Each structure stands twice: as structure tokens, then as C-alpha cells.
Chain A
Amino acid sequence: MTDASLPNTGGAPKSGSLHEIDARTKKRNAAEKRFRMYGVAAIATGIIFLLVLLFAILGNGLGAFQQTFISVPVYLDESKLDKKGNRNIDDIKKVSTFGYNPLIQKAVLKAVVDAGIETPLKKSKDMKALISASAAAQVRQAVIDNPALIGQTVEFRFLASSRVDGYLKGRVHRELLARDKNIDAEHLDIVDGLKEIGVVKKTFNSAFIFGADASESRAEQAGIGVSMIGSLFMMLVVLFLALPIGVAASIYLEEFAPKNRWTDLIEVNISNLAAVPSIVFGILGLAVFIQFMHLPQSAPLVGGLVLTLMTLPTIIISTRASLKAVPPSIRDAALGVGASKMQSVFHHVLPLAAPGILTGTIIGLAQALGETAPLLLIGMVGYIASNPPGGVIEGLMSPNSAMPAQIYEWAKRADPAYYERAWGGIIILLIFLVSMNTLAVLLRRRFERRW
């Protein structure tokens, strides 16, 4: 394609009108058009990828915010729950969840019979597949909280088992039931019947947002709340360490550092750290914080420390940019009225750079919030974060998970019901990231000054 620069060697000039486009010009114009189309196609492909990704997330994940519940009246049989009949709380506590299961199953069977559903499943044991394994613990807790309930019939709202939930959400299909040993087609007939009379209902599931993770067999019960708290504590550590250290380092490098070897070394290190793969920071955390310093494994404190080191370059780079943006006249004016160098920086330059620093910090935090790989190495996956921490120290030191680690954990589990949870968790994570980034953009628009 060197037509433009090659001289026309030999031959007479072509005859013809200027208004008529000759073959070569046509070819060149076509090439121009084609090249343009490649560009449009590339951008379109990128945007299509983005849309497919968002569609996959929303399409698969929104289901996690709804859950199927079964509301049935349960008769709390005195002869089963309090054999002595003296309402002694210690005796009541001795009845384990196994003692409650038959009562619940009976209650569900009664609801099925009352609804007039024809089914070959006549035994109350057959109802086990419909109800989540968490139901017994739920009733037991209610009874222990209020022993006066014994002997009465109380209306409970139970989680349906994950298969029933999957059936209502279209994840479990009748054709595929043959391979599923947890539930039969007859159960699904019951579910259809109960759904018509409103006993089985799909409603908003706040337990997914605020609840704790559950064991592998109870997908319907799992929530992301506790790992959200773990992420929160990690972000607090990052904020309280990375912001002061990052700002201090930037002030030194931007305002005070003499041009020497040591300064160059620091600069090279910061730009290199920004490019080190995150997994290497995980190795560092494992070797230094856990192996060497014996900090507790899986603790948000360790996660926060690792993420701090990882976010530091981001914060330093953006802080230096905003310090650089403050015009030197501000510094000169401060020095001119007798401030020391330190005073001019802390009283004048830093406040003016604060919006930029804040924006950079929020973006750094958002990056840290979504990071997973280093957390795998310091052990924030692989167990069940079941209880929210009691206080700040426990929140920092006791094992917990973090949102992205929890999502990874769910994605690893075999039950497809957990995939839905993983997508749902991603929606929550993205909501956090989007709001943080929006906040950063708004702050920048609102406070950014052009000098």
C-alpha cells in the first residue's frame, strides 16, 4: 500500500475525467472504509463483551435475592419437646434438632393433605426433601427463646430446600430429576399444589445480604453478610494504614526529597511494586505476617496488611499527581509570609490537594475490595464464616472471609445452587465498587480546581 508515495513510473498518464473515480482510487477508498470498519468492529466487540458480562451477572445473580419459603403452622408437641412438662429450660435444651424434625415434617404433610393434593407420598418423612435442614434449628431456637410456645400451634416460615427453590427459579428441571437423589417428581407436584394456595412463596431474601455462610448441603441458607463484615474490617485496615503512609511518602517524594540515589531507589521500587502480580503479595503476607510474625491465619488484619502493601503504590501515584497539580505560587506565598517549608506543605498544599488524594484513595480501596488472589494464600477461604464478630478486636483477629473470597468459595462448591449465590455475591460486590467509583468521580467533579 505504498501508492501514495510511489512515483508513477513509465506509461502515459491515464486519460479520463476528474469527475470519474478511477479504479485505484476506488480501491484506496474501499481500503479506507474497511479500515474504519475494523475500528468500529473492535469497539463494538469490546462493548458487546461488556454487555454479555453484565447480562450474565444480572441474569444469573438476581435469583439469589429471592428465596422460596414454606409457611406452615407447626404443633409444638409437649410430649416430644418437654416430656416432664415442667418447662425447665435445661430439659428443653436437651432436645436436639433431631427431635424437632418429625414435628416439622408432620406439619408440612398436614398442609399438603389440607390442600387436597393427590400424592403417593403419604409419610411425613417424605416431606424432608421440601424443607431446608435449617428449619429444625429455627423452631428449636424459637422454643428456647419462649418455652411458653410448647403445646401450641405456631405459624412458622421455613426456608424451602435448595432443590425446591431451584425448581421455582427454573434451575431444577423435571427431565433431569432421574439423576437427582435429593428430590423426586412427586415432590415437585406437591410444590406446585402448595404454591397455588400460597403456602410456598418466593419472596425477597434479606438473609442473603446480611446472613452468614452455610455448610455445603444448605445452599438455601448461605448469605454474604459475615464476609461483608470481614471485607469492611480489611478496608478499615487499608484505610488507616495506606492513606497516612501513602500521603506521607508522597509528600516526602514530591516536596522534600533531594535528588539522590536513595530517592531514585524509592521511585523505582514504587513503580515496580505497582506492577508486581497480586499473588506475590499473597506470598509475602504468608511468609512475613503468618510464617514469620505468627499473626493469626485467615484474620482480616493480615488481609488488610497485605492489601495495604498492594494499594500503596496506587495511592502514592495518585497523591503525587494531585500534589504536583497545586501551583508553586501557593507554596511561594506561604514561604513569603514566613511559614516554614513544613508549614507551607501541611497548612496550604495538602488541604488544596485533599480532594485529589481522597479520589485516589477511594479508587485504591475499590481495587483492594475486589482483590482475591492474595487472600487465598493467607487462608481466607475454605471454611465457613458463621458468626459475625463481636467487637473490633475480634473482627480484626478472628478468622473471617471476605466478599471476593466468599464468592470464590461458593464457585468451588459442587451444588449448582451455590453458583447462583456466587453471581448474586458478584452483584453485591459490583454495587459496592460502582458506588465507590461514582463517589470518587463526584468528589472530583465537585472539588477539583483548575489553576
Chain B
Amino acid sequence: MPLLWLFISVLAIAVVGFVFGRQRALSSAGGDVRSLHSLPNYYGWNVFMKATVPAFGLIAVWLIAQPLVLQNSIAGMIPASEIKEGSNIGLVMAEVRRTATGIENAVAAGVISPALATDVNADSVAVTALLKEAGQVVTSEISQSLLNAAQAFRAMNATGNLLMTALALIVALAAGGFAAMQCTKDYKARNAVERGILMLLIAAASVAILTTIGIVLSLVFNTIEFFRLYPALDFFFSPEWAPSFSGRGGSSKLGILPLLWGTLYISIIALIVAVPIGLFAAVYLSEYATPRIRSIAKPMLEILAGIPTIVYGLFALLTIGPMLVSVFGQDGLGWMGGGRAVMTAGIAMGIMLIPFVSSLSDDIINAVPQAMRDGSYGLGATQSETIKQVVIPAALPGIVGAVLLAASRAIGETMIVVMGAGAAARLSLNPFEAMTTVTAKIVSQLTGDSDFASPEALVAFALGITLFVLTLALNVLALFIVRKYREQYE
């Protein structure tokens, strides 16, 4: 693992720099700590920081940039004839990379000599045979141009890695040396170190922004790619979802409407289960329950929120499904064909959302000022009349916000629908039929795929961006409503 060794060497340089910088500062003060500007360790840390941060930064940037540069220069080497019908440059590049790794491993295993591995005129058939002998995964036939591309890829990769190692070490040494030279008794080491730490803190805080950018970019670019292969109008308005993986090209029908309908239907059923139970539970807990009952019942309900969704998925698949089938299935009312249905997933999801609705509404109901209740009691209203006519209307915006947040949770939920709702995409009103959702289809279209070239795989990104926008809109709407409400009572 050369990268690990590079890290260790940079760290070693930094540690040596730490000791040296500290020593140098101390000796410039004649060994008297009191005449230093900062504590001696700050001088050490100054060197340590300046040796490691630029070097690690360089390594990080290099590691991200190198594959991109390689990709571009190698892609130019591949002749257009190499890109077969129904394939694209991405697939061929993956092939090149795979071959290069194969050669690398075969050289390491001693099956291919280093000379043959770099020989431009090497016979592609012979190399293929040797690669197979070394147990490397290669396609049946490596063409000559592909082999040459792979060789160039491997050579450039090796040069790049070597260059990165050398540059990182030079940067570490140079920056560390510069910092060590700064270490005299008048140098304001503490200020420098604290400025550096502040920069690191800012960088850490920016990770959140980077993540959002990463999500948006990865969704947007792949979605644009998808819309180049598949018309956007068909995606948004076609009522049919029938992807075909066998024949590459135009035979798939990828309309999002059935998926959206399944998502909405399951979410609605989940909310029908969760909202009344959660709301009444919240009202009871905050208005009626004695502290003792509250201290028992509230944590018990909240356990439901801590259970992983895979558990609810399994519960839906193996407990709720068979239970529903025994009542509504062939032996009972005959409405239900199999255990996987909108109802199955909806009920499981509803159970999951109960604590979500109840604890959010609980907070909101508790925030209604006591004076409003007292006013209502003073007029002779009973407790339930006060709740229905004073507390709930006052808390309504907050409760609507909570329900919207729960809805956004339901729409984004994956495991329960993957396991409980079935795989058939249909536009139907029967809640006992199997339907599928946006999240379930993202999983099924992307599982096990690493190269995204076909519209069938890329559609997952378009589904993802729809999901992202939908949940984001619901959250923003919920926050907006809640915030507006808060202003009234504070």
C-alpha cells in the first residue's frame, strides 16, 4: 500500500519538524521559556501543521484529479471504431481500466514480464491468454488498440503516482522547513497555529455544503445524461413503467407516474395509520397523562422510532403480509393475491411514523401558552372542548408541519417498500395489490451496477432527483409553516 507509506512518511517528516521547531525556538531564546512569544509546543505545532496540511491537501486533490486527466487523455487514444453498437465511451474506458489492473496484477504474480507489459507491439491474443492464466477477469477478446490504451493507462498511472509521491514529499519538506526557519523567539507561533486551526474548523463546517453539492451534482449530471438517451416528456408523463434489460436501446418504457402513484398511495395509508394514533397519543400525553404514565408511555412509543427500518421491512414481509392475506386473501375475502401489497407496506410504515408524529405534535401542543387553556376553562369549557376548540386550532400550523415532515419521511422510506410493497408498477386503486415506489425502483435499477450507460440504470438518478426535490419541498414547506406559527406566540 504505497499510499499508506506516503502518509506515514509525511507524518514522520512532520514529527521530526515538530521536535526541531520546538528545539530551535527554545535555543533562540537561550533556553528560557519566558522570553518566547508563545509556549514552546506552539512552535512545534506550527511546523507540524505546515508540513502536513499542504501535503495532504495536495495528495487529496491529486487523487481526485488524476483519474480525470487520465480519462481524458486515454479516451482520445481509443478509435471510434472501438466503440461498438449499443456501447459507449464509458464502457470502453471501464474495459481499459479493468485490463490495466489485470496486467498490473499479472505482473505482480509474475505471469507477465514487465517488458511484455509495456511492449506496444505485444500480441493482444497472447496477452489475453496470459491474463486469463493469471486468473484476472478480462473479456474474451482484447483488441490491439484496447491493449495499447490499457498499457498507456498503466504507464501514465504509474508516472502519476510517482510524481504525486515525489511532489507530496517535497511540499512537506519545503513547507516544514520554511516553518522551522520561522521558529525564532519573536515569531507569533500561537497566532499562526490558531489561524490554522480556525481554517480547519471552517473546512469541517463546509463538509455539509460539499455534501449537498455532491448530491446535487451527481444527481443532475446523470439525469442530464439520462434525458439525452430518453425523452424527458415520456419520463414525466408516460403512464407505463416497463424497463427491459435484455435488449439495449429503445424498448424500455420508463414513465414515473405509476411509481409516483405507488409512493403517494403507500404514504397516504401510512399517514392514515400514523396521524390519528400519533395525534391522539400526543394530546393524551401532554394534556391528560399523569407524569408517571407519561414517563412510561412516551419512551415506549419512542422505541418505535429507534428501530431500524430493515426490522419494519421484515415485519411487513413476514408478519403483516401473511396476516393480511389470511383475512383478505384467497381463503378470506379474496381481495388480495399475495403478501406484498400497498396495505402491507403502508401499515408497517404507519407504525414507524407514529412516534414521529406524536413527539413532534407533543412539543407543539406543549408550546401552546397555558393562559389560553385557562381562559377556556374559565368560560366553562370541559377539557376536551378546550383541546378541540382552543389548543388544537392554536397548534394547527405546527401539527400540519409535523404531518408534512412525516409525509416526507414516508416518501423517502426505502427498506419497508422494497420488502413489503412488491415490484410491479401499476396505476391501480386497490390497496391490496402490489405496487412499487420511487425508492424501491432506485434500488432495483442500481443494485449491482457499476457502469451507468443504459437508460435503465440512469433512470435511477432521474428518480433520485425527483425524490430529492419532493422531500426537500415538503421539508421547506413544513419549516415555513412551523416558523410562521412560532412568530405568533413568542
Task: Give A contacts to B, CB under 8 Å.
Answer: 1-5, 28-29, 31-32, 34-36, 38-43, 45-47, 49-50, 52-53, 56-57, 60, 244-246, 248-249, 251-253, 256-257, 265-266, 269-273, 275-281, 283-284, 286-288, 290-294, 297, 309, 312-313, 316, 340-342, 366, 369-373, 376-377, 379, 381-382, 393, 404, 407-408, 411, 419, 422-423, 426, 429-430, 433, 437
Contact = CB atoms under 8 A, between A and B. Distances in A.
A404 B414 contact: no
Interface stretch (B14-22, B145-153, B178-186, B460-468): B460-468
B388 to A, nearest CB: 7
10 contacts: A4-B382, A4-B389, A42-B277, A53-B307, A312-B207, A312-B211, A366-B306, A370-B309, A404-B310, A433-B306
Given A39-B288, A272-B212, A56 B315 contact: yes
Interface in B270-310: 276-281, 283-285, 287-288, 297, 300-301, 303-304, 306-310
Contact of A244 (B204, B315, B380, B450): B204
Given A1-B389, A42-B276, A408-B310, 10 more contacts: A46-B281, A244-B204, A252-B201, A272-B212, A272-B475, A276-B215, A291-B218, A293-B64, A408-B313, A437-B306
Contacts of A273: 208, 211-212
Contacts of A266: 205-206, 208-209
B385 interface: yes
Nearest to A246: B204
Given A5-B379, A275-B471, A372 B201 contact: no
B37 interface: no
A4 B385 contact: yes
A408 B415 contact: yes
Interface stretch (B76-84, B114-122, B334-342, B441-449): B441-449
A39 B303 CA distance: 19
B211 to A, nearest CB: 5
A312 B212 CA distance: 12
B285 to A, nearest CB: 7
Given A278-B414, A279-B439, A381-B447, A407 B468 contact: no
Nearest to A381: B447
Given A36-B288, A294-B67, A372-B308, A277 B471 contact: yes
B133 interface: no
B267 interface: no
Interface string B210-248: 011011001100100000000000000000000000000
Contacts of A49: 304, 351, 354
A277 B467 contact: yes
Interface of B: 1, 4, 63-64, 67, 97, 190, 194, 197-198, 200-209, 211-212, 214-215, 218-219, 222, 276-281, 283-285, 287-288, 297, 300-301, 303-304, 306-311, 313-315, 317-319, 351, 354-355, 358, 376, 379-385, 387-389, 405, 408, 411-415, 418-419, 439, 442-443, 446-448, 450, 452, 460-461, 464, 467-468, 471-472, 475, 479
Given A39-B288, A277-B467, A294-B97, A284 B218 contact: yes
Given A39-B281, A42-B281, A342-B197, A373 B439 contact: yes
Contacts of B207: 245, 249, 309, 312
A265 B197 CA distance: 21
Contacts of A276: 215, 412, 468, 471-472
Contact of A373 (B219, B306, B443, B450): B443
A240 to B, nearest CB: 14
A297 B448 CA distance: 9
A329 B198 CA distance: 23
Nearest to A55: B319
Contacts of B318: 56, 60, 411, 419, 422-423
Contacts of A341: 194
Contact of B209 (A34, A265, A423): A265
Contacts of A257: 205
Contact of B415 (A281, A288, A372): A372
B67 A293 contact: yes
B284 A373 contact: no
Contacts of B219: 280, 283, 287
Given A269-B208, A377-B447, A279 B408 contact: no
Contacts of B287: 39
A373 B414 contact: yes
Contacts of A4: 376, 379-382, 385, 389
B215 A284 contact: yes
A391 to B, nearest CB: 10
A32 B377 CA distance: 13
Nearest to A257: B205
Nearest first, the 8 A-B pairs at minimum CB distance are A277-B412, A39-B284, A370-B308, A287-B218, A42-B280, A248-B204, A35-B384, A373-B414
Nearest to B294: A43
Contacts of B379: 4-5
A136 B311 CA distance: 35
A46 B358 contact: yes
Contacts of B202: 252
A46 B443 contact: no
A279 B412 contact: yes
A42 B284 contact: yes
A370 B204 CA distance: 25
A445 B290 CA distance: 23
A394 B45 CA distance: 33
Nearest to A407: B310
B450 A291 contact: yes
Given A28-B382, A57-B311, A256-B198, A283 B285 contact: no
Contact of B461 (A42, A57, A283): A283
Nearest to A371: B308
A74 B431 CA distance: 57
A411 B317 contact: yes
A270 B222 CA distance: 24
A279 B277 contact: no
Nearest to B221: A287
A35 B308 contact: no
B345 to A, nearest CB: 14
Contacts of A245: 204, 207
Contacts of B311: 53, 57, 370, 426, 429-430
Contact of A47 (B297, B314, B468): B297
Contact of B205 (A252, A283, A293): A252
Contacts of A60: 318
A269 B452 contact: no
Contact of A45 (B277, B288, B355, B467): B277
Contacts of A280: 215, 219, 412, 464, 467-468
Contact of A40 (B284, B300, B358, B387): B284
B385 A297 contact: no
Contact of B467 (A28, A279, A284): A279
A372 B309 contact: yes
B371 to A, nearest CB: 17
A31 B467 contact: no
B309 to A, nearest CB: 7
A320 to B, nearest CB: 11
A273 B212 CA distance: 7
Contacts of B355: 46
Contacts of B468: 276-277, 280
B448 A379 contact: yes
B439 A426 contact: no
A334 to B, nearest CB: 14
A385 to B, nearest CB: 15
Given A276-B215, A278-B414, A283-B461, A46 B354 contact: yes
Nearest to B468: A280
A433 to B, nearest CB: 7
Contacts of B304: 46, 49-50, 53
B389 A2 contact: yes
A287 B449 CA distance: 11
Contacts of B387: 35
